[in-house]
Structure 1
């Protein structure tokens, strides 16, 4: 079972499962005896996972980026932070040799003064080179912007997909299928153990895949290493690829997908520490299998992001004594939690880059 009763805890475990075992069937889970599950499919793409991303019209619970490993490694040349739409316009079109930025970049559809501001920001971050010749600003690329994104997979997380939840979700999934911004759409639900999972009986679009997840173990604080949790993923219905036929010629779709991918690259799925209060004395991280999920000692359960705010009646700042070592530069436990989650996010990128280098040597 997912920690707590909220969808938030289930969402975090889905993200961790996708990060380690996407696509479904690509990973050989082992149980406590070490026995392997049925043969796995090969995983050829590098995978990045983010959560709560989308457009003004639609926000997805979980976003899986299937990336070209070499392209993903080349993307690292432009730093860990995301490139917003204005920076992407500059970086993607920056010339190999010095040129006036108005000659080098296509017309953006808005005043050039905003492009000039983006050029200064890009140069300040080191993602392009800039120089002034007379009264003109010239730019040159530091490296070609790579074609690192292959596919976008959208996942809606509904641990308890009852009839009312399915009705509300159906219209949203229809929108995802029709717009085709993502290449594949899934619904992740918690396995019930029934011979036929209830999700199969709901009125969901036929193009949407259904995966039933079981997180055996639970939220157990007794063990320092956390509980032994095995994640079982059963594909109840395989999705249909919803990529439009003219996707290769649709530059607007490509631009929107790159902007979405850049936000996922910069934020990841562990960024909940930016919207919650790890500086509260009751905020903890609990290990559930291979995932670290937030836990509130005051509520004695996994809290939601909406609950964990300065307006929470149980909020208490960390005592000053907790922050004496290294304060105020390094901070207390709350700062440590932020560093830990940021480090785990970067570890995934490093792992994918190292795998690419290993493949090249072989």
Structure 2
């Protein structure tokens, strides 16, 4: 199975069989977040998850959460941020837009406060590396060693469609769990070993010929990054695609993009007029947010809160 359809099928399965929030393509580094992208991130609801669902269905910018803006006395917006005025302005506007901040004016100045205290809403994070075909492992071993060494997530799992041999298991870190996922059935080949996510870790930042640059990442840095990852996953989910303008593409259970001409789930971003089966038509009508809302604990439109779909490139500092 191609990696994209495998990833979507696994996400749909995890969403249907667990109470975890499932998201795709989440930055999994601290000093260099984009150096490691986690294929699938599962976020377990924490003690105050219900309070988070009442705030907004969107990702809350990290700068808004980490600012000096609280729920008590409203603060002058500029003095509440340790960043450039331009970025602070952008963050305030976005936080107001999604309903996390409310603002008022006094004497020509703008003041803001949180509408509710930011809750302790998530528990364990599970990072999943997808490799449907273990016959083409690429740099799999190095990628998994990065995850284990940094221990930013609580567990690391390798998901594959291949039959898993002892030789395969011996080539990956022993802390990594292994799942075989095939035809909608998930078999746990090896349970993951819990990682020390609340302690300092070591991050591989850059590789050169004959040299590898690493950085020690403190427990506090990891905690901040974990919150950003959880927020990113909360707002993003895994249905981050749009249906193409082709009559052959129709939604399957859970909103999977199924191509009748090819007889399988496809990557909609690669659909186009150059496909021999392309049949121009309006895209299939489906509300992917509604699909997620109906199948998970996530709430798209909390009562009384604003919601507007944001582009995926908004607030890149949080990604």
Q: Do they superpose with TM above 0.5?
A: yes
Query: 1:178-210, CA deviations, whole angstroms, 9 ceiling, x for partnerless residues?
Result: 222222111011253x7x566324x11122111
2:188 is equivalent to residue 234 of structure 1: yes
Alignment of 1:141 onto 2:114: yes
The corresponding residue for 1:78 is 55
Q: 1:317 — aligned with what?
A: 280
Is 2:74 aligned against 1:98? yes
For 1:127 and 1:244, how far apart are their aligned partners in 2? 27
The question of whether the paired residues in 1 share the 8 Å contact of 2:257 and 2:268 is answered with no
| CA-CA distance at 1:153 after TM superposition | 0.9
Matched, 1:53 2:26: yes
Using a 3 Å threshold, how does the CA distance of structure 1 residues 312 and 124 change in structure 2: closer, same or farther?
A: same
Match of 1:284 in 2: 250
Equivalent residue in structure 1 for 2:88, among 79, 90, 115: 115
CA RMSD between the two structures: 3.0
For residue 171 of structure 1, report the CA deviation from its aligned partner: 0.7
Asked if 1:210 is matched to 2:178, the reply is yes
C-alpha change, 1:301 and 1:126, in structure 2 (3 Å) is: closer
Contact kept in structure 2, 1:161 and 1:198, CA below 8 Å: no
1:186/1:239 contact within 8 Å kept: no
Listed as ranges, the gaps of 5+ residues in structure 1 are 23-45, 216-228, 319-331, 354-362
Higher strand proportion, which one? 2
Give the 5 Å matches for 1:1-362: 5-22=1-18, 46-54=19-27, 55-68=33-46, 70-90=47-67, 93-103=69-79, 105=80, 107-108=81-82, 110-162=83-135, 164-165=136-137, 168-190=139-161, 192=163, 196=165, 199-201=168-170, 203-215=171-183, 231-246=185-200, 250-273=219-242, 276-277=243-244, 279-287=245-253, 292-309=255-272, 312=275, 314-318=277-281, 334=284, 336-337=285-286, 339=287, 341-350=288-297
Is the contact made by 1:51 and 1:62 (CA closer than 8 Å) also made in structure 2? Answer: yes
Whether contact under 8 Å (2:293, 2:299) holds in the other structure is no
The aligned counterpart of 2:317 is none
Is the Cα contact below 8 Å between 1:6 and 1:304 reproduced in 2?
Answer: no
Structure 1 position 88, deviation (Å): 3.3
2-structure distance, mates of 1:89, 1:310: 46
How many residues were matched structurally? 280
3-state DSSP of counterpart to 2:294: helix
- The structural deviation recorded for 1:176 is 1.2
Answer 1 or 2: higher relative contact order, Cα 8 Å, separation at least 6: 2
3-state DSSP of counterpart to 1:271 = coil
Q: Distance in 1 between matches of 2:272 and 2:121?
A: 36
TM-score (norm 1): 0.68
Say if 1:352 and 1:114 are closer, same or farther in 2 by CA, change over 3 A. closer
Question: In structure 1, what is the Cα distance between the partners aligned to 2:129 and 2:56?
Answer: 29
CA deviation digits over 1:132-154, x for unaligned, max 9?
11132211221001111222111
SS in 2 for 1:272: coil
Q: Which one has the bigger helix percentage?
A: 1
TM norm structure 2: 0.76
